[in-house]
């Protein structure tokens, strides 16, 4: 807003300018709300579609068991374990869809604290490295890298990226995944690279949107949730990809300065 106390031609122009600025701000807010509403509608359609997928085999299994009970009751008992297994698997799938959508709709409040990022990366590497079908290697610096972030969020983000990397590798190719942690200027940089199928050009702009997935099933919420979490501690996530060769995902988080270390360590709690 501009201020002009005189009621002259310049004052009239400034008054009109201020009114126009306010109208533009209202329009921008309305546009943002419309875009959010459209995104949620699309997300609701996606979730409805994903819910229908497991419901169909569940219904068919129950109908099959019902017919078997009436027509061949002596064989019905043999079918129960197999059908129960199918139902449990599909129920777990429904539960995952509900949890992912719930997490996206109401992200838990971040509890940021001083974290040694090396320890988080080592933990994730230990969880995934014992696989016979692929090689998962880690590179990290000798010095500890400190960041101010939510530990649980970081673990979830890295878990999701590692799972995506594993799923991106074709069955006929031995997997090679590399996790690297290093200092880049004033940031800690985590790189997760795979030798998978890569991301096609027409899908690059959709990677961090709620509906994105390269898998045959799933809501495609993982990377959207990860992006939201990373923003909560002033970090960013981005990627580089080569179709048919693999993808590199990067997480950049501001490093804590020495004065920030001291401030947190000397802070007194009054609880």
Relative orientation angle of helices 151-167 and 222-231, to the nearest 10 degrees: 150
pTM: 0.60
- Does some domain include residue 270? no
- Tokens representing 23 are 């109208």
- What's the pLDDT tens digit per position in 177-189? 999 999 999 999 9
The total number of structural domains in the chain stands at 2
Q: What is the pLDDT of residue 155?
A: 86
Decide if 174 contacts 120 (C-beta within 8 A): no
Q: Kindly state the average pLDDT of the residues 16-21.
A: 63
* Residues 216 and 99 reside in one and the same domain: no
Q: Which long-range contacts (CB under 8 A, 24 or more apart) does 86-94 make?
A: 86/57, 86/58, 86/61, 87/58, 87/61, 87/62, 90/54, 90/55, 90/57, 90/58, 91/54, 91/58, 93/53, 93/54, 93/217, 94/51, 94/54, 94/55
Last residue of a domain, one of 46, 73, 106: 106
* Residues 86 and 149 reside in one and the same domain: no
* Residues 18 and 93 reside in one and the same domain: yes
CA 90, chain centre distance (Å): 23
* Residues 119 and 85 reside in one and the same domain: no
Averaged confidence pLDDT in the chain: 76
* Residues 122 and 256 reside in one and the same domain: yes
* Residues 148 and 237 reside in one and the same domain: yes
Q: What is the pLDDT of residue 217?
A: 39
- What's the pLDDT tens digit per position in 234-267? 899 999 999 999 999 999 999 987 665 555 555 4
- Does some domain include residue 71? yes
* Residues 145 and 251 reside in one and the same domain: yes
Rounded Cα gap, residues 219 and 98, in angstroms: 10
């Amino acid at each position: 807003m501009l201020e002009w106390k005189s009621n002259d031609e310049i004052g009239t122009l400034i008054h009109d300018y201020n009114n126009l600025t306010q109208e533009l701000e209202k329009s921008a807010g309305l546009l943002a709300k419309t875009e959010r509403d459209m995104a949620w509608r699309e997300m609701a359609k996606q979730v409805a579609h994903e819910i229908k997928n497991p419901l169909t085999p569940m219904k068919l299994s129950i109908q099959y068991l019902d017919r078997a009970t009436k027509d061949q009751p002596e064989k019905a008992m043999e079918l129960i374990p197999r059908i129960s297994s199918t139902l449990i698997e599909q129920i777990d799938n429904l539960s995952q869809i509900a949890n992912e959508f719930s997490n996206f709709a109401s992200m838990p409040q971040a509890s940021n604290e001083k974290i040694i990022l090396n320890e988080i990366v080592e933990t994730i590497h230990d969880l995934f490295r014992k696989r016979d079908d692929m090689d998962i290697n880690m590179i990290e610096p000798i010095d500890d890298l400190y960041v101010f972030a939510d530990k649980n969020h970081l673990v979830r983000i890295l878990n999701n990226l590692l799972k995506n990397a594993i799923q991106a590798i074709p069955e006929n190719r031995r997997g090679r995944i590399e996790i690297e942690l290093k200092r880049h200027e004033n940031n800690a940089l985590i790189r997760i690279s795979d030798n998978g199928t890569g991301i096609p050009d027409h899908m690059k702009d959709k990677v961090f949107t709620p509906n994105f997935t390269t898998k045959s099933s799933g809501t495609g919420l993982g990377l959207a949730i990860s992006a939201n979490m990373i923003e909560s501690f002033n970090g960013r996530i981005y990627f580089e990809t080569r179709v048919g060769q693999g993808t590199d995902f990067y997480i950049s988080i501001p490093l804590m300065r020495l004065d920030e270390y001291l401030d947190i360590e000397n802070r007194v709690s009054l609880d």
